[in-house]
Amino acid sequence: MIAFHLLFLGGTFCSAEACSVLSNPLLWETTLVSATPLVLAAMGGTISERSGVVNIAMEGMMLVAAFFSAYVTDKAASLAGLAPWEAALVGVVGGIVAGCLIAGLHAWASIRFHANQVVTGMAINLLALGLTSYLYYTLYGSQGTPGNLAGIPNWNVPVLSSIKFMSLGPILFQENPITYLAFLSVVLAHIFLFRTRIGLRLRSVGEHPRAADTAGINVQRLRYLAVTLSGGLSGLGGAYLALNGPHGLFSDNMTSGRGFIALAAMIVGKWTPFGAMGACLLFGFGQALAIALAGQLTVGSYQVSVYILNMLPYVITILAVGGLIGRSIPPAADGLPYDPAESA
């Protein structure tokens, strides 16, 4: 729907060359690249909120994970002497663990101490920014992370990557392994939430924790599990940001709002994995379009600034949240701490 509007706008305003960006495989590949961290974080958010814990801390979790995946990769290579691909793999695990730990902090505050989950989440985002900036400048100074830092290079899926038809091979099957994992996580999250016993229980905890409790379900434990999972998934998203490509890199505030876009995607997707994935692809497309159109889009004699184009994904967010998707109803107990002793 929105893509259609954009095409329409494109047809109205842009020159012939700019319109050709839509048939350029690079645009669609960039869409996948941009969408990957969003998809992972959005899956994390969806699982957490389905259990009734509001999670706006994906930004912070991704940022901390991005830093630690780069740092661990660096140290694994320089101190433990691992080969580049081994170091990068260890780095990814480091990022996931860092994400889980930060998520554990959020879970602990909001489940154990019934803290306001929005405030905790925001605090974690700000804490993550401060922590990673401090560590980054203290450990790496102004030179930045080492130029030879190992990364996770793209991987061509045998056979499929050479499909010529509509350039499907290069677009879909010459991607980063983490991108494949991201889209696999959508399927797994769907099965987990809607087809497994633990998923059914997790959703019941997010809808009516007391009912779940009376049915003999351990509300607190499932919420810890869900929030920790969200940290792990966001952590993988953060590791992707830092390590995607032949060489890894961390830069200050490198998530730059992706966690919040993932949050929006979760809401636009109505707290379902496939819905959130769709929204992430849409936002990814917006980012890719902004990159592709940079310096090419003109209205009359005015060349549209790249900064205006960079606003595209956010405009899409507002349009999508503001009515195109209809009413998005969160899990009934989302954000409400559960206290078994409180009388019903």
Partner 1 sequence: MTGPAAPAATPSVAAREITKRFGPLVANDRVSVAAYPGQILAIVGENGAGKSTLMNVLSGLLQPDGGEILRDGRPIRFHSPRDAIRAGIGMVHQHFMLIPVFTVAENVVLGTEPVSSGLFDKRRAREVVRRLSDQYGLKLNPDDRVQNLPVGLQQRVEILKILYRQSEILIFDEPTAVLTPQETEELFVVLRDLAKKGKTIIFITHKLKEVMAISDQVTVLRLGKVVANLTTAETNPVEITRHMIGRDVMPSVEKQTVGGADTVLEVRDLHCQSDRGVEALRGVSFHVDAGEILGIAGVEGNGQSELVEALTGLRSVVSGEILLRDRKGKRRALVHRTPKQIRRMGVSFIPEDRRERGLILTYSVADNLIFGVEDTAPFSRRGVLDPGRIMANARKLIPEFDIRPPRPDAPVGTLSGGNQQKVVLAREFSENPSLLIASQPTRGLDVGAAEFVHKGLIEKREQGVAILLVSAELDEVMALADRIAVIYEGQVMGVFRAGSVDEGRLGLLMTGGEARAEEIAIDLTAPALEATEGG
Distance between CA atoms of residues 139 and 128, nearest Å? 16
User: In the complex with partner 1, which residue's Cβ is closer, 67 or 338?
Assistant: 338
User: In the complex with partner 1, which residue's Cβ is closer, 147 or 216?
Assistant: 216
Residues 6+ apart with CB under 8 A from 322: none
Residue 280 beta carbon to partner 1: minimum distance, rounded to whole angstroms:
24
Residue 210 beta carbon to partner 1: minimum distance, rounded to whole angstroms:
6
Binding test (CB under 8 A) with partner 1, winner from 184, 211, 299, 306 = 211
Binding test (CB under 8 A) with partner 1, winner from 23, 24, 214, 298 = 214
Binding status of residue 1 toward partner 1 by CB under 8 A: no
Binding test (CB under 8 A) with partner 1, winner from 129, 163, 217, 321 = 217
Residue 340 beta carbon to partner 1: minimum distance, rounded to whole angstroms:
7
Q: How many residues bind partner 1 (CB under 8 A)?
A: 25
The burial of 104, by beta-carbon neighbours within 10 Å (0-12 exposed, 13-18 middle, 19 or more buried), is given as middle
Distance between CA atoms of residues 328 and 91, nearest Å? 37
Cα 10 to the chain's mean position, in Å?
A: 28
49, 237 in Cβ contact below 8 A?
no
Distance between CA atoms of residues 270 and 137, nearest Å? 39
Interface positions, 69-128, toward partner 1 (CB under 8 A)? none
Interface positions, 178-207, toward partner 1 (CB under 8 A)? 191, 195-197, 199-201, 203-204, 207
Query: Considering only 52-60, 164-172, 210-218, 235-243, which stretch makes contact with partner 1 by CB under 8 A?
Result: 210-218
Residue 111 beta carbon to partner 1: minimum distance, rounded to whole angstroms:
16
Distance between CA atoms of residues 52 and 34, nearest Å? 28
Residue 96 beta carbon to partner 1: minimum distance, rounded to whole angstroms:
23
User: In the complex with partner 1, which residue's Cβ is closer, 164 or 195?
Assistant: 195
Distance between CA atoms of residues 263 and 2, nearest Å? 19
Binding test (CB under 8 A) with partner 1, winner from 190, 208, 247, 270 = 208
Taking Cα atoms as reference points, which of 45, 334, 46 lies closest to residue 208?
Answer: 334
User: In the complex with partner 1, which residue's Cβ is closer, 84 or 206?
Assistant: 206
Cα 29 to the chain's mean position, in Å?
A: 17
> 255 in the Ramachandran plot: left (φ > 0), alpha (ψ -120 to 50) or beta?
alpha
Binding status of residue 340 toward partner 1 by CB under 8 A: yes
Binding status of residue 212 toward partner 1 by CB under 8 A: yes
Residue 229 beta carbon to partner 1: minimum distance, rounded to whole angstroms:
17
Distance between CA atoms of residues 287 and 292, nearest Å? 9
Distance between CA atoms of residues 234 and 63, nearest Å? 9
Residue 329 beta carbon to partner 1: minimum distance, rounded to whole angstroms:
9
80, 146 in Cβ contact below 8 A?
no
Interface positions, 314-333, toward partner 1 (CB under 8 A)? 332
User: In the complex with partner 1, which residue's Cβ is closer, 86 or 213?
Assistant: 213
Site map (CB under 8 A) of partner 1, residues 273-312, x = contact: ----------------------------------------
Residue 50 beta carbon to partner 1: minimum distance, rounded to whole angstroms:
11
18, 293 in Cβ contact below 8 A?
yes
- By 3-state DSSP, what share of the chain in percent is helix, strand and coil, each rounded to 5? 70, 0, 25
The number of C-alpha atoms within 13 Å of 193 and in the hemisphere containing its C-beta is 24
Contacts with partner 1, residue ranges (CB under 8 A)? 191, 195-197, 199-201, 203-204, 207-208, 210-218, 332, 340-341, 343-344
